Amino acid sequence: VRRVIALDGPAASGKSSTGLAVARALGGGWAHLDSGSVYRALTLAALDRLDTPFGGERVVALADELPVRLVLLGDQFVPEVAGVNVSEAIQSAPVTAHVSALAAIPVVRQWVTRHVRDAVAGHAHGVVVDGRDIGTVVFPDAPLKVFLTATPDERARRRITQRGEALTDDHVERESQALSARDHADSTRPVSPLIPARDAETLDTTGLPFDAQVARIVALARAAFPR
């Protein structure tokens, strides 16, 4: 059995922080891989070196050449561009603004899917993989699939707090609308739209404390991966 936990859900649903906390709580060599970080690393590389609009073939050729890679650092897979860890750089506003368009290109998705599968195959232990299409496309045979949701307002509040900004009604409203727009783009694209796998456990985290959400997934994991 493949030791993969597929963790999918919309933007700012807390997938990455949850995925890392779950991997750490499980211990035993479990690692965390944020597949969105690969789409972001490709976007960062493309913004630096290509003209918009990006052609898929150019992007993947650039990714092979630089290269863009996933590297295991402790218990986390981190994205590298030409040997440089870009975990911080990929959070920039320009990358966030362009990543959905790039993630809608089929050859780009194939490239990312292949690299995520290779990284997991090369890891001797379990991996918590988060993204949008992990349970549906990348690892359809994962023994545990979790789909995290939360209302757009709740996700907007979390994201604003995370950035250390003030939680005004106006700001929440704007952020919530931006998140809804990105959800819409990700859910309605023809290739690998964001939808829960049929056999995924949906976990609505609106009003659920972070620790409780992690504990819930760890309990599901203990049942799915008995030792």
Assess 158 for contact with ligand DC (CB under 6 A): no
Assess 132 for contact with ligand DC (CB under 6 A): yes
Q: Please give the Cα distance from 104 to 133 (Å, whole number).
A: 12
Assess 151 for contact with ligand DC (CB under 6 A): no
DSSP string, 184-207: HHHHH-SSS-S---TTPEEEE-TT
Q: What Cα–Cα distance (Å) separates residue 206 from each residue in 38, 79, 150?
A: 27, 30, 5
**SS3 for 129?**
strand
Dig out the tokens for 19 from the structure: 């995925």
Looking at the DSSP bridge assignments, the partners of residue 203 are 148
Assess 133 for contact with ligand DC (CB under 6 A): yes
Other CB atoms within 10 Å distance of the CB of residue 159: 18
Assess 139 for contact with ligand DC (CB under 6 A): no
What minimum distance in Å lies between the beta carbon of 40 and ligand DC?
6
**Comparison of 29 and 106: residue with beta carbon closer to ligand DC:** 106
Q: Please give the Cα distance from 66 to 129 (Å, whole number).
A: 24
Assess 99 for contact with ligand DC (CB under 6 A): yes
Assess 100 for contact with ligand DC (CB under 6 A): yes
**Comparison of 130 and 221: residue with beta carbon closer to ligand DC:** 130
Give the x-and-dash track for 24-43 against ligand DC (CB under 6 A). Answer: -----------xx--xx---
- Which residue ranges make up the site for ligand DC (CB under 6 A)? 11, 35-36, 39-40, 99-100, 103, 131-134, 182, 186
